[in-house]
Structure 1
């Protein structure tokens, strides 16, 4: 038997062993899922199925389903764009996670940087309005004629006083360091020159 034939024989043997190992690994991984589920159910950890076989969904026990709070949304544009919430009101339960979208359209043929500043009514509701995600956390850069929907993910703290039934969230969206600021600076410089 030549050296070349011996090498081919060894390669075939190695290939066969690798295929068997790959099949065994796949079988082990496939069998691990039911095995893991059985151990979790026996120990009462991370139970995914109930006794009747239906999927158990975790309930958020901090949601106060006995109360409804109406959230009103408002948007004010201080600049050359359209800015508004996609819904005007939403009824929520304290502790429940909610999302509202705001839409902004840059009507200019230039890129603009903008920032949103929130305000709340009544004023004491501000400390109970908890934002998880908000476009107001950072400046937004809008390309020429760009339209964008931006989320606000929030929940109302269950400690909100019971007499507060309605909260208004209002954003003022204004340009930062752009044409409006430069125009105001140019006008004040022009006024200073005219006075001389």
Structure 2
């Protein structure tokens, strides 16, 4: 009987080890999923993710035969206590023409914050055709308590935009990255 108990305990111990390994594996996979998804979206242009790199505007031919309407939507992530809005809600542009839109931001709290804006384009297929030469979304945006600012975005719509896309929405969501920005600053100092 002691041999049966010993064998049973060995089997249970192995099962517990396997279950713990599976839990840790699932936990690791969950962390790996976010960067993998980001890479997938960047490669395919799905989910409206735009490139974080600045586009180079060199002798792009302007297509004056059509107009594309772009709507700008802004929002702050839950818990982000800033006022954030596009100065221009909607703009009509010629593909290839350089444009600038300003975004207003205000930190009306008594605490300094650092924010990061994440863009999203709808429909997602239009994301690869908006080229930003300058954008506040490229960098963290620190704002002291009570401070306000205008943040520019310079862009053009690629003339290769399919003719059936005459309207798209560019949304920016502002996230509080104060804690992670402070961690980076401490590690570099």
> How high is the TM-score relative to the length of structure 2?
0.61
Tell me if 1:66 matches 2:42: no
3-state secondary structure, aligned to 2:96: coil
Give the Cα separation in 1 of the matches to 2:106 and 2:60.
39
Tell me if 1:172 matches 2:176: no
* Deviation of 1:61 (Å): 6.6
Moved more, 89-98 or 104-113: 104-113
- The residue that corresponds to 2:76 in the other structure is 77
State the Cα deviation string for residues 53-105 of structure 1 (Å, max 9, x = none): xxxxxxx6700000100010010012101001001100000000000000110
- The residue that corresponds to 1:7 in the other structure is none
Give the Cα separation in 2 of the matches to 1:61 and 1:109.
45
Runs of 4+ in structure 1 over 4 Å off: none
Give the Cα separation in 1 of the matches to 2:84 and 2:60.
36
Give the Cα separation in 2 of the matches to 1:107 and 1:171.
19
* Deviation of 1:177 (Å): 3.3
Gaps of 5+ in 2: 1-58, 181-189
Give the Cα separation in 2 of the matches to 1:178 and 1:61.
41
> How high is the TM-score relative to the length of structure 1?
0.59
3-state secondary structure, aligned to 2:125: helix
- The residue that corresponds to 1:97 in the other structure is 98
3-state secondary structure, aligned to 1:101: strand
Moved more, 88-97 or 170-179: 170-179
Equivalent residues in 2 for 1:1-196 (5 A)? Answer: 62-78=61-77, 79-178=80-179
The count of residues paired between Structure 1 and Structure 2 equals 120
Give the Cα separation in 2 of the matches to 1:80 and 1:178.
15
3-state secondary structure, aligned to 1:155: strand
State the Cα deviation string for residues 122-162 of structure 1 (Å, max 9, x = none): 10000000000000001010010111000000000000000
Q: Give the RMSD, CA atoms, in angstroms.
A: 1.4
Give the Cα separation in 2 of the matches to 1:163 and 1:95.
16
Q: Which has the larger radius of gyration?
A: 1
3-state secondary structure, aligned to 2:126: helix
Q: Identify which of structures 1 and 2 has the higher relative contact order when contacts are C-alpha pairs closer than 8 Å and 6+ apart.
A: 2
